[in-house]
Amino acid sequence: MAVDYQKYLDPEVLAGLEGLQLRARRIVEGYVSGMHRSPYHGFSIEFAEHREYAPGDDLRYVDWKVFGRTDKFYLKQYEEETNLVCQLLLDTSESMSYRGPDAALSKLEYAQCIAAALAYLIIQQQDSVGLVTFSEQIGALVRPSGNPSHLQQLFQVMEETPAGRKTSTGPIFHELAERFKRRGVVVVLSDLFDDVDKMMAGLKHLRHRRNDVILMHVLDPAELDFPFQNTTLFRGLEELPELLVEPRALRKAYLREFTAFIRRLKQGCRAERIDYVTVRTDRPVDVALRECLGVRG
């Protein structure tokens, strides 16, 4: 069944992404020519170092200026440019279905739009993108590809993946760190409602495997601002009970706890050299991506 592209890729969003690129902050592996530095040396675009001539080397790469100064033959070595592999990790747990009173989309719908825009952007720059959906376990796992028709498969998976129940990021990140054989860029799209220590241990494993990790913390504005005034029945998600409360009595304590939660996440990410970005679902998708990727450019 064909999926409507415009559900995930608004033409205005695509226009807003023009000229934006996803570059790996650190060196990633690659096998074909692309726009990202590779750890493999070759004779390509970016100069790396000299090495002494050995019989059989191509004389085209002799540095004659160095020969004139030293009377010895040295070759110029270059760093190859390589294609990027990006893995999109999409949280489909029950809490991602939340949509507050001032948001047009649920957190999951917004994260799907971000994932779709990133996938489009990556394939347009002739790189490869894969998709993993998860809640308390891994749902779908789509292997990376740079084929333009790959977008249809990614959208199909996002359309058909059912919402899970609880979130279990730590074990999932550990498993994926072992599954991803090539290091690349890993983009996590989640509300991150989980145990911070276990989650950071999993993210540390991804970094230990030399992946470049971006954490996009998808939050509804109501979760950040807690604007509720009247007595409200809060419906529990991820197997939590319902609560009838007076919001004004809780607001100060709630914001204190939520701010502390975000602070711990940021500190953990800073320690592991992980990019952390707060993404509000009431902001345009292209603005959110520009803020995230513009800094990395």
For 133-159, write each residue's pLDDT tens digit.
999 899 999 999 998 889 889 999 998
Contact 130, 89 (CB under 8 A): no
Average pLDDT, the chain: 83
pTM over 0.85: no
Domain containing 184 equals: 5-20+84-296
Q: Is residue 165 part of a domain?
A: yes
Cα(126)–Cα(218) distance, rounded to whole angstroms?
27
| Residue 146 shares a structural domain with residue 285 | yes
State the total domains in the chain: 2
Cα(239)–Cα(288) distance, rounded to whole angstroms?
30
**28 or 65: which leads in pLDDT:** 65
As beta bridge partners, residue 87 has: 130, 186
Q: Is residue 44 part of a domain?
A: yes
| Residue 56 shares a structural domain with residue 155 | no
Q: Is residue 290 part of a domain?
A: yes
Domain CATH for 101: 3.40.50.410
| Residue 92 shares a structural domain with residue 72 | no
- In the predicted model, what is the mean pLDDT of residues 247-255? 83
Is a pLDDT exceeding 70 seen at residue 27?
no
